[in-house]
């Protein structure tokens, strides 16, 4: 998402025991949760994949469930874990895994390597940790554990939970339209669409409008996608960070084919329980600059916290951005440009040519930026968190997907919801300029009207009687229907 959210600031495993920092409103959260906990007396274990785009929704979910009265234990991998000091109302447990701990000291490690190591080395540490939590909870006569909520990237979480007779529910941090595609890879293979072939890239897929063959995931991702599908479909339910009004077709289709309940609770970060979490931004330079700009005049440019682009793409993007003559706030995080060790990968003289029209930072508080009245567009990689956050703030998008589900997300943004423009020819200087000017100066009003309508629906679905509100009520009752775990006291 192109920034380190201060709500989920990462720390090294050696620092994780520090609990000196307090949330501004943590007391309020704790008091609200404790009132409910006296009624429920149940504990949930949450196990997120160790990436910002996965950890943020899991922590949002944890705060929501805490507000409903559940006690919360967060199990973390030692790969840039979240600082427990920011969530003093949760209990944190850290896995003992030397491989991921070593990788956390080398941020340049590719995410695919981390994912492979997660599932290769963490199963036994997770089993040990889970067993310890269950025994300690029983011996201390604390709130009994009722379920594990895990990220499906942990391929082994289901089998380990089953060995303890512990119900497991998955949190789907991406959208359900992409998950529907993942569940249909065999069908797409039979139809000749998957894996994508060069001769059919522009062909539309009638079974999944408006997707094209080129939007599908790559063959190299097949193994992890199949593991995600298997882990989810064999669980006792799936929670998803979306809302029915946005993805009604995909949710309904999956509910017809899956034998497990689906709980659309999104947008998780906009839930009232999360509105009181306020650590405060650590860097206000972006906001200070935005305060000097005209309403809806600025294009915000950010490409997430993991994916990178090659040098040629980056240069084309930079020149196209400059040629657009549109004010812009640009996030250039470390390692954005693949293979570049330069502190400043910008072309020589770029900052002078940009002048006061642009502002460049290494990270920005994305939610603050998108909600700022000066921001009129978002040039994004279309990770699901960024896409959903843009919808929630009513900011139309220029789409430059980089990997994974981002091509599918961008296609839905541009052709399904019609709230953005997808750059179809890769990153070309003239197309970057054209897309930016079209969004910001020519046709943006119609897209802004449509995304404003979605923004209102995203707000209303969380209010009493809304679709996500009712889904949360169903989930709460479902979790309370599980028998509490009774461990053998040692």
Q: How confident is the model at residue 8 (pLDDT cuts 50, 70, 90)?
A: very low
Higher pLDDT, 308 or 25: 308
Quickly tell me which residue has 């020589």 as its tokens. Answer: 348
**Residues 6+ positions from 430 with CB-CB distance below 8 Å:** 320, 323
Q: How confident is the model at residue 9 (pLDDT cuts 50, 70, 90)?
A: very low
Q: What is the pLDDT of residues 58-107, one digit of tens each?
A: 999 999 999 999 999 999 999 989 999 989 999 999 999 999 998 888 76
State yes or no: cis peptide before 210, omega within 30 of 0: yes
Three-state secondary-structure class, residue 19:
coil
Higher pLDDT, 169 or 445: 169
- pLDDT (mean) for 432-441: 95
Matching fold, domains 6-271+462-480 and 285-458:
yes
Where do the structural domains in the chain lie, given as residue ranges? 6-271+462-480, 285-458
Residue closest to 300 by CA, chosen among 359, 388, 227, 247: 359
Can you give the pLDDT at residue 316? 93
| pLDDT over threshold 80, residue 445 | yes
**Which pair of tokens denotes residue 155?**
């391929």
| pLDDT over threshold 50, residue 391 | yes
Residue closest to 394 by CA, chosen among 483, 279, 270: 270
Quickly tell me which residue has 């889904």 as its tokens. Answer: 471
Domain 285-458 has CATH 3.30.70.20: no
**Which pair of tokens denotes residue 207?**
């079974």
321/309 Cα distance (integer angstroms): 16
404/216 Cα distance (integer angstroms): 9
- pLDDT (mean) for 174-180: 97
Can you give the pLDDT at residue 22? 32
The CB density around residue 90, as the number of other CB atoms within 10 Å, is 19
Can you give the pLDDT at residue 87? 93
Cβ-based burial of 246 (10 A; exposed 0-12, middle 13-18, buried ≥19): buried
Q: How confident is the model at residue 197 (pLDDT cuts 50, 70, 90)?
A: confident
State yes or no: cis peptide before 431, omega within 30 of 0: no
- pLDDT (mean) for 426-432: 89
| pLDDT over threshold 60, residue 24 | no
212/189 Cα distance (integer angstroms): 14
Q: What is the DSSP code (8-state) at residue 266?
A: -
192/396 Cα distance (integer angstroms): 34
Can you give the pLDDT at residue 487? 45
Long-range contacts of residues 480-483, Cβ cutoff 8 Å, at least 24 apart? 480/40, 480/42, 480/146, 482/146, 482/147, 482/167, 483/146
Cβ-based burial of 113 (10 A; exposed 0-12, middle 13-18, buried ≥19): exposed
Long-range contacts of residues 387-390, Cβ cutoff 8 Å, at least 24 apart? 387/175, 387/413, 388/175, 388/241, 388/242, 388/266, 388/267, 388/269, 389/1, 389/267, 389/269, 390/451
485/475 Cα distance (integer angstroms): 18
User: Which conformational region is residue 388 in: left (phi greater than 0), alpha (psi within -120 to 50 degrees), or beta?
Assistant: alpha
Domain 6-271+462-480 has CATH 3.30.1130.10: no
Q: Identify whether the C-beta of residue 407 lies closer than 8 Å to the C-beta of residue 401.
A: yes
Higher pLDDT, 281 or 81: 81
What is the DSSP pairing of strand 145-150 with strand 91-94? unpaired
Q: How confident is the model at residue 281 (pLDDT cuts 50, 70, 90)?
A: very low
Higher pLDDT, 342 or 230: 230
Q: Identify whether the C-beta of residue 436 lies closer than 8 Å to the C-beta of residue 397.
A: no
Higher pLDDT, 276 or 102: 102
**Which pair of tokens denotes residue 420?**
């953005």
**Residues 6+ positions from 285 with CB-CB distance below 8 Å:** 359, 361
354/351 Cα distance (integer angstroms): 5
How confident is the prediction for the chain on average, in pLDDT? 88
Higher pLDDT, 168 or 489: 168
104/426 Cα distance (integer angstroms): 32
Highest mean pLDDT among 19-33, 65-79, 131-145: 65-79
Q: Which of 139-148, 396-405, 451-460 has the lowest mean pLDDT?
A: 139-148
Highest mean pLDDT among 268-282, 301-315, 441-455: 441-455
């Amino acid at each position: 998402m192109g920034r380190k959210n201060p709500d989920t600031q990462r720390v090294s495993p050696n620092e994780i025991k520090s609990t000196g920092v307090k949330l501004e409103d943590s007391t309020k959260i704790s008091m609200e949760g404790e009132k409910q906990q006296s009624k429920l007396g149940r504990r949930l274990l949450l196990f997120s994949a160790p990436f910002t785009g996965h950890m943020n929704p899991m922590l949002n979910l944890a705060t929501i469930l805490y507000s409903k009265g559940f006690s919360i234990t967060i199990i973390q991998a030692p790969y840039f874990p979240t600082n427990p000091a920011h969530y003093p109302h949760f209990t944190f447990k850290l896995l003992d895994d030397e491989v991921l701990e070593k990788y956390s000291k080398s941020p340049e490690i590719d995410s695919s390597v981390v994912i492979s190591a997660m599932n290769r080395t963490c199963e036994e540490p997770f089993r040990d940790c889970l067993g310890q939590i269950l025994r300690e909870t029983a011996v201390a006569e604390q709130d009994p554990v009722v379920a594990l909520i895990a990220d499906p990237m942990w391929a082994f979480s289901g089998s380990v939970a089953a060995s303890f007779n512990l119900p497991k529910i998955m949190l789907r941090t991406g959208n359900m339209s992409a998950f529907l595609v993942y569940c249909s890879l065999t069908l797409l293979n039979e139809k000749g669409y998957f894996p994508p072939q060069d001769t059919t890239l522009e062909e539309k897929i009638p079974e999944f409008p408006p997707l094209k063959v080129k939007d599908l995931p790559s063959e190299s991702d097949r193994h992890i996608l199949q593991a995600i599908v298997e882990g989810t479909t064999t669980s006792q339910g799936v929670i998803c960070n979306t809302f029915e009004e946005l993805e009604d077709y995909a949710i309904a289709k999956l509910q017809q084919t899956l034998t497990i309940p689906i709980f659309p609770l999104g947008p998780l970060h906009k839930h009232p329980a999360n509105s009181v979490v306020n650590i405060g931004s650590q860097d206000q330079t972006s906001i200070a600059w935005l305060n000097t700009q005209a309403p809806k005049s600025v294009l915000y440019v950010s490409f997430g916290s993991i994916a990178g682009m090659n040098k040629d793409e980056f240069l084309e993007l930079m020149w196209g951005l400059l040629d657009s003559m549109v004010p812009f706030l640009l996030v250039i995080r470390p390692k954005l440009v693949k293979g570049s060790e330069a502190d400043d990968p910008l072309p020589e003289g770029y900052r002078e040519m940009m002048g006061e029209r642009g502002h460049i930072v290494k990270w920005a508080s994305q939610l603050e930026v998108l909600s700022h009245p000066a921001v009129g567009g978002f040039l994004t990689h279309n990770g699901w968190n960024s896409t959903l956050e843009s919808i929630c703030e009513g900011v139309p998008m220029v789409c430059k997907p980089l990997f994974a589900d981002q091509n599918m997300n961008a296609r839905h943004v541009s052709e399904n919801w019609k709230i953005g423009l997808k750059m179809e020819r890769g990153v070309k200087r003239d197309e970057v300029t054209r897309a930016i000017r079209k969004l910001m100066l020519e046709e943006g009003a119609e897209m802004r009207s449509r995304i404003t309508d979605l923004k209102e629906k995203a707000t209303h679905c969380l209010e009493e009687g809304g679709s996500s509100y009712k889904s949360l009520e169903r989930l709460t009752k479902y979790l309370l229907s599980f028998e509490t775990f009774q461990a053998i006291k040692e």
